[in-house]
Amino acid sequence: MSLTILKQGAEGRLYLGEYRGQACLVKERFVKKYRHPELDAQISKHRIKAEVKAIGRCESVGIKTPKIFHADVNERKIYMEYFSKAITAKEYIKHTVLKHNGESARPILDALCERIGSIVGKMHANNVIHGDLTTSNILINQQEDQSIGNEDIIFVDFGLSHYNQSLEDKGVDLYVLERALLSTHSEQPYLFDVILTAYRKECGKDEQNLLSKFEEVRARGRKRTMIG
């Protein structure tokens, strides 16, 4: 099968390929030569299984993710659904700001962030930790009817995900998202506040404890930033 490379990151490569005659995305965890071979194989196998399980758990509670067609721990590859017309939330936000001047972009971005916050809240309520929440790992798949709120929001790249009830891990997940938004979309500082408000409605019975833990994580992060 011929594969066309789309992207390479620290953890793996993404290819455009084919599975049983259908176009698909192929994620490969390549060998890390700096690791002992047995340890590298063990880590790769664990992370592939964790990614597939996290996607399955999200799908079971109605969170849109790529469908998994096949996973091969020996080949170190996951074959999954490919969204050819989707763009990242990062691109969507930037395009919206460019297209709509000033405050006219705000209702569109508010609607997007409310939905993202609700999805992350539902994810955490079901104890799925994404591990790398950024606007590059959220896809927006617009429908023919491009009215606000009609697009599909798809969470991708669960390569660092795990299943955990830990408030600390959920707080870190939120903090990673906040830092990503402030770094990438600094001219729209309200985005995370909208996400957090929607998140609180969906994150479950531990809302207060979870938010307290998030504030702790945030305080530690700010302290590290100040100290360097």
Q: What is the pLDDT along the chain (228 residues), one digit of tens a residue?
A: 678 998 887 778 999 999 999 999 999 999 988 889 999 999 999 999 999 999 999 999 999 999 999 999 999 999 999 999 999 999 999 999 999 876 789 999 999 999 999 999 999 999 999 999 999 999 999 876 666 667 899 999 999 999 999 999 999 999 999 999 999 999 999 999 999 999 999 999 999 999 999 999 999 987 665 555
The active-site residue, picked from 40, 72, 110, 132, is 132
Handedness of CA 40, 41, 47, 48 (dihedral sign): positive
Task: Provide the β-strand partners of residue 16.
Answer: 4, 25
Quote the pLDDT of residue 19. Answer: 93
Instruction: Show the tokens assigned to 161.
Output: 């995900």
Q: What is the DSSP letter of 35?
A: S
User: How much is the pTM?
Assistant: 0.92
Read off the amino acid at residue 19: Y
DSSP letters spanning 121-159: HHHHHTTEE-S---GGGEEEE--SS--TT-SEEEE---T
Active-site residue, 132 included: yes
What is d(CA 168, CA 162) in angstroms, rounded to the nearest whole number?
Answer: 13
**How are strands ordered across the β-sheet holding 4-8?**
4-8, 13-19, 22-28, 77-81, 68-72
